[in-house]
Chain A
Amino acid sequence: MAEAAPGPDVRKLLEEIKRNISWEGFQADRVEKTIQEALATLDSVKLHFLENCVGCAACAPSCPYYYVSEKYGPVEKAELARNIYRKEATILGKLLGPLLNAKKPKSEKDLDTIVEAVYRCTNCGACYVSCPFGIDSGAIIKSILASIATKSGRAPTLIAVFDVIEREKLFLKIPSFMYIWNEVMKKAEQALGKPLPFDKKGAEYFLLVNMADAMFYPDAVIGAMRVLDRAGVDWTLPSKPFAFRPPIAAVIGLFKQAREMLKMLNADISKYEPKNVVLLDGGFVYPWLRFQMPKVLGRRPSYRVLHIVELFEKLIKEGKLKLNQTDDKVTWHDPCQLARRGGVTEEPNFVLSAASKGFRKLPHHGAESYCCGGGGGIGCMNMEMLEQMGKLLGVSSKDLVAGEKELEFIQKTAEHWTIAVKRKIDDIKKSGADIVVTACPVCMHSIAGGAQLYGLKTQVRHIAAYIGERLQ
């Protein structure tokens, strides 16, 4: 990737972000305000998640971070939100306080505990399906606690930077980003042997390539284009990225900003009047665009949202996509956001079975798939990521952390990830697969890193890259 000197936009952005981020201290007023804001978002479903947990801890072993420490079990982390809820919104909690574990964060240590809970949760939803009461602890951790943490100043600087870059479309002004984008498009044009069908109006399929797609899996972007081209469907793509990884604000619990971002993105896409919008990203981008978008807009968008693997399935069934079937020992890792939180579980199996006779499911797949341990912002919390992004932005990795305390937190998070990823790696080992195919940049990074760590020789590919190479 190209290095760049920091432009004035980046400098200004970093200064501004750092003014809002404070990993040290405890500002009581600010925390109190954030608590009130978080509780104002309660609805009957969240109320159920907060009130009906019986504390049986049946959910505990489902969580990748439970294996780091039992204090990171889902119920333990969500209890921090329940403490606050009981103190603020229940009569008995107000009256009996500690007897009912009703209390609010009162010190720097309390706030740190909340932040730790937020970044020991990937929002994978495994606790949701393993709870006998249908309680989604992850949703509570990643909504109530994350919003309290971030608005109190405790957000990973790097993610906060990306959030602003996305919402202000600064990536269009940062040369290294646009360099990457243009390079990918150039290579795609070479691969297709013809000009790309940019910015067409009313196309059947709008391939929504985001900045992160181009950065993390350029071969998948190209693979998807090859498939669309070969299938002979009417498709287009944007000539410039609309977003970084939308809505990245959601990762740090800034839901108002996430909603604004979705509205903006919808406006951008709608100008092209596509019938279907196709995503490459099977991380949080999928459930937000597919399932949250109508809630945010107050109406269903004028196009359908589908993941590329859903499109592949459709094209194969229609006979438009023909593959050279191989013997690859290949398996599919279900990204939690695409599968458990998005319902796309059957399609990848169908597509990969068509691509290889050696396809096998992982011992834990679909609703029971093991999380890779990297989601929910955790994948951004390591030195490698900071250095890579620092290079792109033309700053040092130190400029992307708010101080010693955040740095230590990042290092501890990265250490804990090494334990959380192990269960996934063991599952892959058991499958005997040589190639792991998936669809989320964080899963890809996490599994590749985990494989290296635990001596598993395996390739990790994006489904669009893998399929793009097996066209008849």
Chain B
Amino acid sequence: MGYLGGSTADVYSFAVYYFFWVAITVFAFGTAYRLAKMVLLWRRVVKAEPRNRGVGAWIIGLVRTFVDPIIFSMKAKPHDFLAGLVALHIVGVLPLIFLLAHHVAFFAYWFAPYKLVAETGLWIPLSVTTSTLTITSPIEVKFVNSIWGPLTVILNGDVLAILAILGVAFKIGTKVMEQAHGLRHVRWSDYFSLGLLMFILLTGYAAARHSTGTVTMDVGTYRTVLGFHILGAEILLMLIPFSKYWHFVFGYWYGKLHEWYDLRVQKGLV
């Protein structure tokens, strides 16, 4: 059963050749469902005359709409800011997902325009000392000269994965603390979402190094670990429209643009 030497019983092949389509389908339906709900509930209303403070104020307002909460969080909750926004989002998960060399290759295969990222060299290497797939490769170890220059010291899979893992661990810890304080916004599904992300990061980290940290993997184990990594990512993809991960695809952008229009354009808040 299967092709390219894969079999459905092999987790790697199952994830890459079979479940991939299930995940894409669920994601597409979920996305359509969420967007349709928004569209169906949209109501046309007569708006008040806007307070016109000029285009300059709109642009400054747009920047402030995005930046103000970040500054606020930096001042009011520095720990959350560092772990949640910086480690987890800005230098952790986002560049890892979209710029890690392996992911770039994968995305470019499925989505041709993404080749641009590969061709412009914007990808980030797996580690600071080698751009090959693994530190166990019998290749001379030397500093990677990526387009990011000295920034490569940070912008590499090794460092970013560790930051992202720390960020997720902090978030899980925060949830546990908040729940212990009796705060009601913590949901069991939060643990599932964050746990899944942690699982993806750990399996990705292990697979990329062909090592679990203590044991060096044989090819079979590598395929299994990588298979779990991909499977985890696919489950997350399916979860996006039905969970807090929707914020990245839609919630964040809609929310901020709506707030900008409501407060800055319509009401003229400066």
Contacts and interface: CB of A to CB of B under 8 A. Distances in A.
Interface of A: 42-48, 51-58, 60-62, 70-71, 73, 75-76, 79-80, 83, 92, 96, 98-101, 128-136, 290-295, 297-300, 304, 339-343, 345-346, 366-368
A437 B73 CA distance: 29
A130 B267 CA distance: 17
B17 to A, nearest CB: 29
Nearest to A289: B48
B53 to A, nearest CB: 8
Contacts of B250: 52
B251 A51 contact: yes
A46 B38 CA distance: 10
Contacts of B142: none
Contact of B48 (A55, A101, A293, A298): A293
Contact of A76 (B49, B185, B266): B185
Contacts of B106: none
A71 B254 CA distance: 28
Contacts of A43: 41-43
Among A58, A61, A71, A131, the most chain B Cβ lie within 10 Å of the Cβ of A58
Interface string B240-270: 0010101100111011111110010011111
A132 B252 contact: yes
Contact of A55 (B76, B186, B258, B268): B186
Interface residues of B, number: 56
A52 B48 CA distance: 27
Contacts of B183: 57, 70-71, 73, 76
Given A47-B37, A135-B255, A136-B259, 16 more contacts: A43-B42, A52-B250, A55-B244, A57-B185, A58-B73, A62-B72, A71-B184, A100-B188, A100-B189, A130-B76, A292-B48, A295-B45, A343-B51, A343-B270, A367-B269, A367-B270
A101 B258 CA distance: 26
Contact of A134 (B46, B188, B255): B255
B56 interface: no
B259 A62 contact: no
Given A133-B255, A294-B47, A345 B69 contact: no
B247 A55 contact: no
Contacts of A341: 267
A44 B261 CA distance: 15
Interface string B188-221: 1110000000000000000000000000000000
5 contacts: A70-B183, A76-B183, A100-B188, A129-B65, A341-B267
Contacts of B270: 343, 345-346, 366-367
A122 B72 CA distance: 20
Contacts of B258: 45, 48, 134
Contact of A48 (B49, B80, B254, B263): B254
Given A52-B251, A55-B187, A340 B38 contact: no
B184 A79 contact: yes
B70 interface: yes
B267 A48 contact: no
A304 B51 CA distance: 11
Contact of A58 (B42, B48, B69): B69
Contacts of B112: none
B68 interface: yes
A133 B252 contact: yes
B259 A128 contact: yes
Contact of B69 (A55, A99, A130, A339): A130
Among A48, A304, A345, the most chain B Cβ lie within 10 Å of the Cβ of A48
A192 to B, nearest CB: 31
A131 B70 CA distance: 9
Among B43, B69, B244, the most chain A Cβ lie within 10 Å of the Cβ of B69
A76 B184 contact: yes
Interface of B: 34, 37-39, 41-43, 45-49, 51, 53, 64-65, 68-70, 72-73, 76-77, 80, 84, 178, 181-190, 242, 244, 246-247, 250-252, 254-260, 263, 266-270
A364 to B, nearest CB: 11
Contacts of B263: 128-129, 340, 343, 367
B269 A291 contact: no
B66 to A, nearest CB: 8
A368 B41 CA distance: 31
A221 B64 CA distance: 36
Contacts of A56: 80, 84
A451 to B, nearest CB: 25
Contact of B181 (A45, A70, A134, A295): A70
Among A71, A79, A132, A135, the most chain B Cβ lie within 10 Å of the Cβ of A132
Contacts of A83: 184
B48 A99 contact: no
Contacts of B39: 44
Given A129-B263, A133-B252, A299 B76 contact: no
Nearest to A129: B68
A223 B77 CA distance: 44
Among A292, A293, A342, the most chain B Cβ lie within 10 Å of the Cβ of A342
Contacts of A51: 34, 246, 251
A135 B69 CA distance: 11
A88 to B, nearest CB: 14
A219 to B, nearest CB: 28
Contacts of A62: 72, 76
A73 to B, nearest CB: 8
A43 B68 CA distance: 26
A290 B268 CA distance: 13
A132 B256 CA distance: 7
Contact of A340 (B41, B247, B255, B269): B269
Contacts of A128: 259, 263
A58 B80 CA distance: 8
B187 A58 contact: no
Q: Which 4 A-B pairs have the closest CB atoms?
A: A343-B267, A134-B259, A52-B251, A134-B255
A203 to B, nearest CB: 20
B48 A343 contact: no
Contacts of A48: 38, 251, 254-255, 258
A99 B254 contact: no
Among B73, B185, B186, B255, the most chain A Cβ lie within 10 Å of the Cβ of B185
B185 A79 contact: yes
Contact of B254 (A52, A58, A346): A52
A75 B185 CA distance: 7
A55 B190 contact: yes
Contacts of A343: 51, 263, 266-270
